[in-house]
Structure 1
Amino acid sequence: MSLSRVVRAPRGAELTCLGWPQEAAMRMLMNNLDPEVAERPEDLVVYGGTGKAARSWEAFDAIVRELRTLKGDQTLLVQSGKPVGVFDTHEWAPRVLIANSLLVPEWAT
């Protein structure tokens, strides 16, 4: 296994994002790619042979970048493994919404 890029989440009580909800989302994303638990971290595959943490390394970097600057009254929308928008919401709204879909042609509607 070639690990040209190793991802490890920050540890401890120091924030690297603007709030703990954003920090938690970022750390969970990064923990999924930690070589100690990921199936093929170099390919972003975290489980099941094809389950990816992000669509590409560029998308992963963009998600992390957005989480680090996301304010406590904004929501990041991630669609099919890449960030597609940041919306002004409110402090009780989710910080991240993720929409994924696997359409099987025979059953797609």
Structure 2
Amino acid sequence: MDSPRHNCRDIHAVTGTKIIEKSWLTEAPVRMLMNNLHPEMAENPHELVVYGGIGPAARTWRDFDLICCDGSKDADARIVRVLWNDPAARVMRHADAGYEIALHCAKEHQLNLPGIL
């Protein structure tokens, strides 16, 4: 079985003033993620390792594609959630951080987080 973190494609961020996302609010984090995976920047970009050997940019390439959106009407909300949530598991990375969006998402998905919700 192939590793879900291995892919042979190279990632290059879009440059210039024309955006590919729905707004600059979501364009900026997507470009930042893509820049972190640039072949000249990342330690091991094909395995999603940004730096230090343990700094994955996304859990899997499927998650990377989810983060970079699909053009659906909820794409903006999904990008903003990714800043606080895990796109694969749909749970918060730091549940006790108190981020309003993360807490709302946890409640929305009826997550059982003892001591937090």
TM range (shorter): 0.5 to 0.7
Where do 4+ consecutive residues of structure 1 move more than 6 Å? none
Determine the structure 2 residue equivalent to 1:33: 37
More strand by share: 1
1:1-109 equivalence runs, <5 A: 4-65=8-69, 69-70=75-76, 75-77=80-82, 78-80=84-86, 82=88, 84=90
Cα deviation 1:57-96 (Å, max 9, x = unaligned): 011111111688316xx842453464728xxxxxxxx9x8
TM superposition score normalised by structure 1 = 0.64
Structure 2: state its 5+ residue gaps. 1-6, 92-98, 103-117
Query: Among the aligned pairs, what percent are the same residue?
Result: 38
Whole-angstrom distance in 2 between the partners of 1:63 and 1:82:
10
More helix by share: 2
Contact 2:14–2:31 under 8 Å retained in 1: yes
* Alignment length (residue pairs): 85
Structure 1: state its 5+ residue gaps. 86-93, 98-109
Contact 1:62–1:83 under 8 Å retained in 2: no
CA RMSD of aligned residues (A): 3.2
TM superposition score normalised by structure 2 = 0.60
Paired residue secondary structure (1:10): coil
